[in-house]
Structure 1
Amino acid sequence: MKTINKLILIALAILTYSCEDILEEDISDDTVQIISPINNAVIESNVASFKWNTLKGADKYRIQVYESDQVLILDSLTTKTSITLPLSSGKYVWRVRGENYAYESVYSFPSNFSTSIPNDLTNQQVILSSPDNEKFLNFIAVTLNWQALKNATSYSVKVVNTATSQEVYSKTDLTTTAVTLDLTALADGNYEWRLKAKNTDSETKQYSARKFNIDTTPPNQPKNTSPADNSTQTANTSVAYTWSIATDNGNAKSPISYIVEFASDADFNTIIQTQNSNTATLQQSFSATGVYYWRVRAVDEAGNIGTNSAGFKFTVN
């Protein structure tokens, strides 16, 4: 009996705390050590690189950056131990702490720093605006946009096919902050665009770079698998609708999601319900008895829409 009572007490103690709390290391009294920028640092650039040491037991880090008047301009959670932020000339304060599922460390002591943007572009970076990094697009007339860099007089841009390393576009002495690519060389594939700025005395030491993907091929047509055509279901019972789809063989494989439609007629003129799914399955139930039809089509992240599957009939009793 004593043994049973002990086991019960142990079980109750375990239930008092979540598994995550038991497994996670308590970092409540620890502090992240910053590397840069150190207190009172002066950064002669339009970007600041924040770095800190790894904290044992932390899964991620929360970094906060304030303007000198205590206005919060960044509150970011990252698994890395560094982050880069574009900044205007001014005075700032930053701090960072470690976090895991159950605990948070003490914030590092606030560190003051200032930025100034010199005429020398060497240590500066051009801030790219669009398209977003790793964006999937279904057209070749891609417009590249970036922010104007103070003291820069012109820009150079080039586009590289990342699979072949072939440079497919190059243009120098641009005085605008945008350029549109409309090249037959931009077939379906994965690309990286790189941009530099210069003036009469200097140029940025590194290219600013982002990737984009061109996918103009619609997804394959799905095939309904279950419930089978002409099946019978019970009202108010959840049923798994599943389908298959052939593997995309294109050069750029956009992530695929699905649109599932339910209709009261075989031609889908009267669609009674539309559901979205990120996987090739969907749980659905019907409360009203009757005859229904279902079909599915695939949509990729580039915006291409595939062909609907053949409609399957089912009866709800």
Structure 2
Amino acid sequence: MGNNIKFLSVVCFLLFLSCDDILEENLTDDLVTPITPTTGSTIVNNLVHFSWQALDGADDYRLQLINPSQNNIILLDSLINETSFQYPLEPGAYEWRVRGENFAYETAYSFPISFNVEASSDLTNQTLILNTPTDNLYTNTTNLLFTWSNLQYADSYTFELIKNLNGQTTLTQQSGITGTSFSVNAAVFDVDAEYIWNVKAINTTSETIYTSRSVFLDRQVPNQPALSTPADEEIITGTTVDFSWAIGQDSGNVQSEVSSILEIAQDANFNTIIESLAITNGSTQQVSIATAGTYYWRVQTKDAAENVSSYSVSRTFTTE
């Protein structure tokens, strides 16, 4: 009996150590140390660089940006997994603070740090902020409007569009733009490819460097999926069914990520669909079907540019 008690004690102790290993570190008594901007500093730039020291046990950091002149409104509340962050700001007075977080715990916020942002007529070290389209957008439309934020003291902007396919080709370059948007003739997008758009701000004495983003034009419809398992008219014992299919190799110039939609119905025309599942990774899915019976299934694919394939040939199976 005594040996059993000792054995159980050892097991409990080992289990305790194992549980302790997977517990998150308690951060409640810790603080994150801010680095920049420092208290009372003046940033002569439209893009502010925030940084802080790493904290052991913290998986992420929550950065808050406050505008004291607007009743301390929180302009930014962002969870960041690094120890630095850049954010565009208009001229004015601001405060910032940061805390560390993990799954179970969080530190208190650092003491708010006040700083100022000033505009400068020297554009050399300033950054033009692009708005739309988002960076690395996959799209099947050529009706694109390129927009960016106004930069104080800029007199005009220069826009250029480059096609990146077997080398780079400049398609459009337009200077003297006084607004903050530019549209391109749709005929310029002659083939599916990566298109790089660049914009810079200019005044009489200085200019920014180009800010760049990419748009991936993809009008290639994904392949029709080919069903693998279960086989047509297969009888399956039990109500758990393993589905698999093939989506084939994309043959277009741009290969955007492809997801699948698995549909299971009670009728051949798919008027009564009991399951419609989006599968973003892979081409297999296990499904539990509560009621035994005969069912029909098919798969359709869709890529990141919103191109949709035709449905696969449907199959039937029976669970019993």
Fold conserved between structures, TM > 0.5 = yes
Contact in 1 for aligned 2:48/2:88 (Cα 8 Å): yes
* Letter paired with 2:92: G
CA distance in 1, matches of 2:230, 2:45: 61
State the TM-score, normalized to the length of structure 2.
Answer: 0.86
Shift of 1:304: 0.2
Shift of 1:265: 4.0
Shift of 1:125: 2.4
1:134 maps onto 2:102 in alignment: no
Please give the per-residue CA displacement for 1:201-247, whole angstroms capped at 9, x wherever unaligned: 3322x222222211111111111111110112357x12122111212
2:311 to 291, 301, 308: 308
CA distance in 2, matches of 1:67, 1:112: 10
Shift of 1:42: 1.3
Alignment root-mean-square deviation, CA: 2.5
* Aligned match of 1:73: 75
Change (3 A) 1:234 1:127: same
3-state SS in 2 of match to 1:8: helix
Answer with 188-197 or 128-137: which moved more. Answer: 188-197
1:252 maps onto 2:261 in alignment: no
* Aligned match of 2:202: 198
Please give the per-residue CA displacement for 1:141-186, whole angstroms capped at 9, x wherever unaligned: 3221112223322111123345634433322111222222324455
* Aligned match of 2:233: 230
Shift of 1:101: 3.5
* Letter paired with 1:190: E
1:189 to 166, 183, 193: 193
Shift of 1:271: 4.2
Percent identical pairs in the alignment equals 36
| Aligned pairs for 1:161-172 within 5 A | 161-162=163-164, 164-172=167-175
CA distance in 1, matches of 2:257, 2:189: 23
Answer with 157-166 or 106-115: which moved more. Answer: 157-166
2:89 to 66, 87, 90: 87
Q: How many residues align?
A: 311
3-state SS in 2 of match to 1:303: coil
CA distance in 1, matches of 2:190, 2:66: 42
Long gaps (5+) in structure 1: none
CA distance in 2, matches of 1:167, 1:25: 53
Long gaps (5+) in structure 2: none
Change (3 A) 1:145 1:97: same
3-state SS in 1 of match to 2:10: helix
* Letter paired with 1:298: T
CA distance in 1, matches of 2:261, 2:303: 11
Contact in 1 for aligned 2:171/2:188 (Cα 8 Å): no
* Aligned match of 2:37: 37
Contact in 2 for aligned 1:121/1:198 (Cα 8 Å): yes
